[in-house]
Amino acid sequence: MAAKNALTTSGTKKRSVNRDLAPERIAAILKGLDEAYPNAICALNHKSPWELLVATILSAQCNDVRVNMVTPELFKRFPTPAAMAKASLPELEDIIRTTGFFRNKAKSIKGAGETISKKFGGKVPQTLEELITVPGAARKTANVVLGVCFGKAEGVVVDTHVFRIARRLGLAKTDTAQGVEQELMKVIPKQKWIDFSHQIIHHGRAVCDARKPKCQNCNLEQLCHSKDKTWHS
């Protein structure tokens, strides 16, 4: 009897997961995001792939508003990878101090300048394999730069907003950013990977807050079965 009950429970769980990932539900979520955020773009201010790379490195454990306050002075003083490579660490640390973890970030952006200058002829590489060899450019950073600057969907950008909302919507179950990315890549059409990330990030900032989501303002509310919803229709 215990084995039968276990099988029934397992089967019920499997059907629930399948409903969460049903193509029509995925399509409805994507439609809702398109309606709510038709012009969602990267929130980090930049004028070149190099500037976006640096800004994305600085955005780790820091909000985009703060990064956008810091980067104008940083790029004014060190506008190119070669200039960044020649900067002293104390100079860089002083400029980026308010972004947090400024010592490690200073080493990363200086190292990025050195690597791009010496290994890639001063140009930000356009492949995932090359980008992740640049100091400070892990997979998430590489996906941001490739998607925004080169229109290349090599993966799904999973920041804290995407991680949280993908799990709230039942699109992912794992508890690591890498795992969530792999799950999303299986259910979100590749042509939507870039837009999906931008839209979810905007949704996380405007509506689906980590502590108190504004469910009454969410056009995905009826598609969401999260246990921490604050309002139900």
Closest CA to 32 of 187, 153, 202: 202
**pLDDT (0 to 100) of residue 230:** 85
Decide if 157 contacts 140 (C-beta within 8 A). yes
Q: Is the pLDDT of residue 9 over 70?
A: no
Taking CA atoms, 13 is separated from 17, 68, 143, 219, in Å, by: 6, 44, 32, 26
When pLDDT is cut at 50, 70 and 90, the band that residue 232 belongs to is low
Mean per-residue pLDDT for 102-111?
Answer: 98
Q: Which one of 64, 105, 110, 140 is the catalytic residue?
A: 140
Domains of the chain with bracketed CATH: 49-150 (1.10.340.30), 155-233 (1.10.1670.10)
For the cut 90, the answer to whether the pLDDT of residue 75 exceeds it is yes
Q: Quick check: is 209 catalytic?
A: no
Contact criterion met (CB below 8 Å) for 165 and 127: no
pLDDT at 154 over 60: yes
pLDDT for 56-69, tens place per residue? 999 999 999 999 99
pTM for this model (two decimals): 0.87
8 band by pLDDT with thresholds 50, 70 and 90: very low
Q: What is the pLDDT of residue 18?
A: 62
3-class SS of residue 222: helix
Nearest by Cα to 225 from 37, 33, 34, 19: 19
- Of residues 105, 110, 159, 195, which has the active-site annotation? 159
What mean pLDDT value characterizes the chain?
Answer: 92
- 11 has pLDDT over 50: no
Residue 140 designated active-site: yes
Alpha helix stretches (DSSP H) within 44-138: 49-58, 64-77, 81-86, 89-96, 102-119, 128-131
DSSP state of 81: H
- Total H helices, total E strands in the chain: 12, 0
Dist CA 146 CA 223 (whole Å): 31
Mean local confidence (pLDDT), 104-120: 98
> Each residue of 169-226: pLDDT tens digit?
999 999 999 999 999 999 999 999 999 999 999 999 999 999 999 999 999 999 999 9
